Amino acid sequence: MLRLTSFVSALALSAAAGMAEDITVGVSPGEHGEIMEEVAKVAAPMGLNIEVIEFSDYVVPNQALADGDLDANSFQHRPYLENQMKDRGFQLVEVGTTITTPMGIYSDSLQSMDDLPEAAQVAIPNDPTNGGRALLILQDLGLITLAEGTGLVPSPLDVQDNPRALRFLELDAAQLPRALADADIAIINTNYALASGLSPKEDAIAMEKADSPYVNILVVQDGRQDEPWVRTLVEAYHSAEVKAFIDEKYEGAVLTSW
CATH code of 118's domain: 3.40.190.10
Q: Are 117 and 184 in contact (CB under 8 A)?
A: yes
- What pLDDT score does 18 carry? 55
Determine the structural domain holding residue 32 and report its residue range. 2-101+214-256
Indicate if 63 and 88 belong to the same structural domain. yes
Query: Which residue type is seen at 56?
Result: S
- What pLDDT score does 26 carry? 98
- What pLDDT score does 251 carry? 87
Among 75, 50, 49, smallest CA distance to 60 is for 75
What is the C-alpha end-to-end distance of the chain, expressed in Å?
49
Tell which of 166, 182, 207 closes a domain.
207
Backbone angles phi, psi at 58, to 5 degrees: -95, -5
* Integer Cα distance of 99 and 198 in angstroms: 19
Indicate if 114 and 195 belong to the same structural domain. yes
What is the reported pTM?
0.77
- What pLDDT score does 7 carry? 37
- What pLDDT score does 90 carry? 98
Tell which of 169, 184, 207 closes a domain.
207
Tell which of 192, 207, 222 closes a domain.
207
Indicate if 168 and 203 belong to the same structural domain. yes
Question: How many other CB atoms are found less than 10 A from the CB of residue 230?
Answer: 20
Please identify every stretch of the chain with a pLDDT value under 70, giving residue numbers as ranges: 1-18
> Which value, to the nearest 10 degrees, does the dihedral of the CA atoms of residues 129, 135, 139, 142 take?
160
* Integer Cα distance of 257 and 198 in angstroms: 23
Indicate if 82 and 55 belong to the same structural domain. yes
- What pLDDT score does 101 carry? 87
Task: Decide: helix, strand or coil at residue 246.
Answer: helix
Give me the number of domains the chain comprises: 2
Indicate if 171 and 48 belong to the same structural domain. no
Indicate if 111 and 195 belong to the same structural domain. yes
Indicate if 189 and 250 belong to the same structural domain. no
